[in-house]
């Protein structure tokens, strides 16, 4: 469990994080979202004791980070995948972290295998691709087998297969009862990965809810309707009470009618439907609408 209570960070007259109170829960992947400058990285730095809050608290398992006797066993973090000496091999990098944090050396090969780096673990990190460095950063975050994971943009540099692999890994980690906090600007991927969302803007909490509930903020779903050989079916849709918009590529976008009503109307009208699908705003659409007040200001 990661708990923030009134967490605040000010830099002179500017407030980067403003009385943020939220719980990141175990057993779920929580997307931590906000526009650039919203305060996401500042929040993570305060959780990890790398920035001192102006007010409020951040607690991991009920304790501040600086009170954790063995912090890597409690919380694993990946904020900068480039934070590794380029001349040191991936394995040597992890062994140094393990030695400095009293972690068993055998754990190094376990995490290398879990992130798919065993075959290249002896190579200098300086020759790693961006995707390989991301995997090394994940390995470092997992090294202490922590209950809480803070991951800032872990998808960067991964190819499509790597993104699908990461999605499965994060869901598996949450399924093991861990608290997984994922910050990313890739809304399409967040929509496939996250169970819950915490959204901030100007450092303030905008939403703390499930993904499904957040998407319910969108406009009601519309129906994409296409018909074979019937250019005037739109008149029947309007007469039935539908709000109809002609599409340049053919067909209509219809709101105000349920799919079964359109189907029943087509049957009565003798119209053959070639497409009847629901269209709803994506996570990106809803995110942009609720954070429009909090653009890139810092």
How confident is the model at residue 296, as a pLDDT?
Answer: 43
Residues 176 and 160 in one domain: yes
SS3 298: coil
Q: State the pLDDT at residue 218.
A: 63
SS3 assignment, position 41 = helix
Query: Residue 266: which CATH number?
Result: 3.30.70
Q: Are residues 65 and 154 in the same domain?
A: yes
Q: Please check whether residue 207 lies inside any domain of the structure.
A: yes
Query: Edge-to-edge strands of the sheet including 196-201?
Result: 75-78, 148-152, 179-183, 28-33, 196-201, 204-210
In a domain, 160, yes or no: yes
179/240 same-domain check: no
pLDDT at 220: 64
Per-residue pLDDT of 192-221, as tens digits, reads 999 999 999 989 999 999 998 888 776 667
Q: Is residue 287, in this structure, part of any structural domain at all?
A: no
Is the same domain home to 162 and 232? no
Q: Strand 28-33 to strand 55-60: parallel, antiparallel, or no bridges (unpaired)?
A: unpaired
Asked if the model's pLDDT at residue 81 lies above 60, the reply is yes
Q: How much is the average pLDDT of 115-132? A: 94
Dihedral pair phi/psi, residue 160, rounded to 5°: -55, -40
Residue 45 lies inside a defined structural domain of this protein = yes
Phi, psi at residue 209, to the nearest 5°?
-160, 175
The pTM assigned to this predicted structure is 0.80
Say whether both 124 and 265 belong to one domain: no
**Looking up tokens 């006797």, which residue turns up?**
69
| Residue at a domain's end among 172, 198, 215 | 215
Rounded average pLDDT over 172-197: 92
Please check whether residues 120 and 245 belong to one and the same domain.
no
289 belongs to a structural domain: no
Q: Would residue 288 count as lying in a domain?
A: no
Q: What's residue 291's pLDDT?
A: 76
Q: Nearest Cα to 189, choosing from 169, 166, 207, 209?
A: 166
User: Does residue 165 share a domain with residue 21?
Assistant: yes
> How many Cα atoms occupy the beta-carbon half-sphere of 144 within 13 Å?
22
Domain count along the chain? 2
Query: Does any domain span residue 285?
Result: no
272 and 174 co-located in one domain = no
Q: Report, as an integer, the average pLDDT of 94-102.
A: 95
Statement to judge: residues 80 and 107 lie in one domain:
yes
pLDDT at 295 over 60: no
Domain that holds residue 260: 222-280
State residue 297's pLDDT score.
38
pLDDT band of 282, cuts 50, 70, 90: confident
The arithmetic mean of pLDDT across residues 229-258, rounded, is 90
CATH of the domain at 157: 3.40.50.300
Other beta carbons less than 10 A from residue 66's beta carbon = 9
User: Is the pLDDT confidence value at 168 over 90?
Assistant: yes
Task: Name the more confident of 281 and 271.
Answer: 271
Give yes or no: residues 103 and 177 share one domain: yes
- Are 7 and 63 within one domain? yes
DSSP-assigned letter for residue 178: -
Same domain, 59 and 186: yes
C-alpha 197/C-alpha 210 separation (Å) is 6
């Amino acid at each position: 469990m990661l708990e923030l209570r009134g967490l605040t960070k000010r830099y002179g007259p500017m407030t980067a994080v403003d009385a943020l109170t939220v719980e990141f829960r175990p057993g779920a992947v929580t997307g931590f979202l906000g526009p650039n400058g919203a305060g996401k990285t500042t929040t993570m730095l305060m959780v990890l004791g790398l920035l001192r809050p102006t007010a409020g608290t951040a607690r991991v398992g009920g304790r501040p980070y600086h009170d954790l006797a063995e912090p890597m066993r409690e919380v694993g973090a990946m904020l900068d995948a480039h934070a590794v000496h380029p001349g040191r091999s991936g394995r040597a990098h992890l062994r140094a972290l393990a030695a400095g944090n009293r972690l068993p050396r055998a754990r190094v090969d376990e995490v290398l295998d879990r992130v798919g780096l065993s075959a290249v673990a002896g190579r200098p990190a300086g020759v790693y691709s961006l995707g390989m460095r991301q995997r090394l950063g994940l390995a470092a975050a997992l090294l202490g087998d922590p209950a809480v994971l803070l991951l800032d943009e872990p998808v960067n540099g991964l190819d499509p297969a790597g993104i699908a692999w990461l999605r499965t890994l994060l869901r598996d980690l949450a399924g093991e009862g861990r608290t997984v906090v994922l910050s990313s600007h890739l809304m399409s991927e967040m929509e496939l990965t996250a169970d819950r969302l915490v959204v901030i803007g100007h450092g303030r909490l905008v939403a703390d809810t499930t993904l499904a509930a957040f998407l319910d903020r969108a406009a009601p779903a519309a129906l994409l309707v296409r018909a074979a050989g019937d250019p005037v079916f739109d008149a029947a849709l309007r007469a039935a009470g539908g709000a109809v918009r002609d599409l340049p590529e053919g067909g209509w976008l219809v709101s105000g009618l349920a799919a079964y009503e359109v189907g029943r109307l087509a049957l009565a009208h003798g119209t053959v439907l070639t497409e009847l699908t629901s269209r709803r705003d994506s996570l990106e659409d809803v995110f942009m609408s609720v954070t429009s007040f909090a653009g890139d200001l810092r």
